[in-house]
Amino acid sequence: GYDSLHEKDQILFHLIAVFFNYENDGHVKTMLADSGLDVRLGLKTLAYKSLIKISSEGEVVMHKLLQQVGRQAIQRQEPWKRQILIDTDDIRDVLENDSVSFSFYF
């Protein structure tokens, strides 16, 4: 399911894996409102492909194994192509050296 996702839906998948697992869908939509992502449609797409569940209370839930897959997918990206930094060494390098150019979608 993940490989067949549109690039922006993959980004939303990564963001949920890192930041928004077990968060309310309204909160996710608010936090990403200016991101250029169609969060409403993206959440529906991810739920349709069974990559997340949205509870009756609106909680976005990603299974722990899928969350690990999302985090690993980020780590496999070339460092200069990552939209999300997870590793403390990568974060420190960027803050200390400011030598890497990252492309962010939001």
Q: Check whether 106 has a pLDDT greater than 50.
A: no
Q: Any idea which of 11-15, 72-76, 97-101 has the lowest mean pLDDT?
A: 97-101
CA atoms within 13 A on the CB side of 30: 5
Phi, then psi, of 8 in degrees rounded to 5: -70, -30
> Average pLDDT of 57-66?
98
Mean pLDDT of the residues in the chain: 88
Average pLDDT rounded to a whole number, residues 66-91: 85
Residue 40 is encoded by which pair of tokens?
A: 């409403």
CB 84 within 8 A of CB 15: yes
Q: Can you say whether residue 26 is alpha, beta or left, with left for phi > 0 and alpha for psi between -120 and 50 degrees?
A: alpha
- In the sheet where 53-54 sits, what is the strand order? 23-24, 59-61, 53-54
- The 10s digit of each residue's pLDDT in 13-46 is 999 999 999 999 999 999 999 999 999 999 999 9
- Quote the tokens at residue 81: 């192509």
